[in-house]
Amino acid sequence: MRLNNLVVTHGQTTLVEADSLDFTPGRPVTIVGESGSGKSLLAHAIMGTLPANLTARGSLSMDGQAYDLSEPGNRRKLWGPVMSLLPQEPMLALDPTMRTREQVAEAAAGFRTDRKNARSLAGSLLSALGLAHAAGAFPHTLSGGMAQRVAFAAATIGGAQVLIADEPSKGLDERARTELAALLKRHAGNDGILLTITHDLELARELGGDVLVMKDANITEQGPAGQVLTDPAHPYTRRLLDAEPANWRHAWATAPESTGLALIRGEGLAKAFGRQQLFAGLDIAIHPRERLALSGPSGSGKTTLGNVLLRLLPPDAGSIEHSPALQGGRLQKLYQDPALAFPSRVALRDSFGDLIRRHRLDAERLEELMAALRLRPELLARTPGQVSGGELQRLAIIRSMLLEPALVFADEPTSRLDLITQEETMACLMEQVERQGCALVLVTHDSTLASAVTHRSIPLRTAEESVERTKAFA
């Protein structure tokens, strides 16, 4: 497969420009770069699934057949049997009202004429992916890694040689990412063409093959993964590598001194959902200025433990005590999806205005924090959906810091951000945590991020790994 002279535009603005790209069966190609660099648009231009307000020029050659990219409908017949897209956010891509086997079967060739055979093929494929037990499950009961495997089954059951995976590891823990990489490499190993779009450099390393680096609509560097990701030629690629948490060198990384009585103290905590025991007999204390990580894979109970500590969920056993220092809004939570912190249809300026009036805050403090977190004042005129994910998460940090918290609970605050935006966002958060002298509890599945930001960690395990819990009483 060859992509020739691709240009994607919006009006007079060029969003993607790529001269010539070759894709060889059996050799993965991975495109990395920041959000907004044009990675996903390149993939959708190949598929013919660009939004209607964007136009594409160029050609795609497959098995001697040329396709004009300006005509998106000319590739529709290829969807399923020849090329398939593994979308971002499998939980949103899957039909919440259908069981997994039915969803996979629908994508099989000949489903409309032989549904029994399609269901049999779907069951066999799910079994091969270790999901035989989940064939009758609904999407909301699946973990992130399981949902990604179901989406992979639906994308490949039609026999497509070309698989385009768009940010497939977003929000997955390290184990689920390794399992996903094995699935993608298996597709390439079966003489398939694999194009992966990602900001996850670890996934790019595991896939191998060739890596293309995109910035500002252009490919700035390309070559074998081992070379590009260890000895890059372009300064931007080096900047990407430096943005990995293991390479952070920030002043706030030094351990602060924890003093005073505990802000939160839990003793003998236990919580289960149905027959799954998430944790039991857990003792924990969080002190002023402390930085604590709740780490572990998806489904291990990190967010649940956090919600128990915040008194948003009652424990099945044990007790929670909060210090009076947390009263009056001084316990703040940052969400994985920052849009949850803001009304979707209200301008950000109005949301902040309501907060300032309700708590009688100094309006000039908002201006100071906007400057400190490197945000333009005109962003406040927009609604949450009109700013980027990184900008909105920084605005959520401002919203929390306006209340001068004694403790910030950050639930996977950067898991959906690219590496550079993640580093910038965490730097903004940690600068404010250090400046205001508050404690931080970070929920993360990324052990490297936990090590870079916090100084004590409670590792949680899935029920399959262990029901034992680490004692963390201090």
User: Would 233 be classed as within a structural domain?
Assistant: yes
CATH number at residue 79: 3.40.50.300
Are 39 and 163 in the same domain?
yes
Helical spans, DSSP H, in 406-446: 419-436
Q: What is the DSSP string of 254-323?
A: SPPPP-SS-SEEEEEEEEEETTEEEEEEEEEEE-TT-EEEEE-STTSSHHHHHHHHTTSS--SEEEEEE-
180 and 275 part of one domain = no
Task: Let me know if residue 468 belongs to a domain.
Answer: no
Pair 346, 433 in one domain:
yes
Which pLDDT belongs to residue 288?
93
Residue 329 lies in a domain: yes
* pLDDT number for residue 462: 54
Looking at residue 255, its pLDDT comes to 63
Which helix (H) or strand (E) element contains residue 222? Answer: strand 218-224
Q: Which among 189, 190, 205, 200 is positioned nearest to 166, based on CA atoms?
A: 200
Q: Are 200 and 169 in contact (CB under 8 A)?
A: yes
The β-bridge relationship of strands 13-22 and 2-10 is antiparallel
Tell me if 403 is assigned to some domain: yes
Element (H, E) at 14: strand 13-22
User: Tokens representing 119?
Assistant: 């269901």
Does residue 267 lie in a domain region? yes
Instruction: Note the pLDDT of residue 122.
Output: 92
Q: Are residues 42 and 129 in the same domain?
A: yes
- Is 177 in the same domain as 235? yes
Collect the ranges in the chain with pLDDT lower than 50: 463-474
Same domain, yes or no: 181 and 306: no
CA-based nearest residue to 267, from 279, 285, 287: 285
Is 251 part of a structural domain of the chain? Answer: no
Q: What is the C-alpha to C-alpha distance for residues 191 and 206, in angstroms, rounded to an integer? A: 18
pTM, full prediction: 0.80
Same domain? 220 vs 311? no
Which of 242, 271, 298 is the last residue before a domain boundary?
Answer: 242
φ, ψ dihedrals at 119, nearest 5°: -65, -35
Instruction: Give the integer Cα–Cα distance in Å for 164 and 166.
Output: 6
Domain range enclosing 94? 2-242
- Other Cβ atoms less than 10 A from the Cβ of 59: the count is 14
Q: For the chain, what is the domain count? A: 2
What radius of gyration do the chain's Cα atoms show?
Answer: 24
Domain identity same for 54 and 110: yes
**End-of-domain residue from the set 195, 216, 242:** 242
The answer to whether residue 163 sits within a structural domain is yes
Shared domain for 34 and 119, answered yes or no, is yes
For residue 66, which phi and psi values (nearest 5 degrees)?
-100, 140
On whether both 50 and 126 belong to a single domain, the answer is: yes
**Residue 468 confidence (pLDDT):** 37
* 211 and 318 inside one domain: no
What residues contact 163, with CB distance under 8 A and at least 6 apart?
Answer: 83, 84, 86, 155, 156, 184, 187, 192, 193, 194, 195
Of 183, 214, 242, the residue that ends a domain is 242
For 181-213, the pLDDT digits (tens) are 998 999 999 999 999 999 899 999 999 999 999
Residues 293 and 405 in one domain: yes
The answer to whether residue 219 sits within a structural domain is yes
Annotate 354-408 with DSSP letters as a single string: HHHHHHT--HHHHHHHHHHTT--GGGGGS-GGGS-HHHHHHHHHHHHHTT--SEE
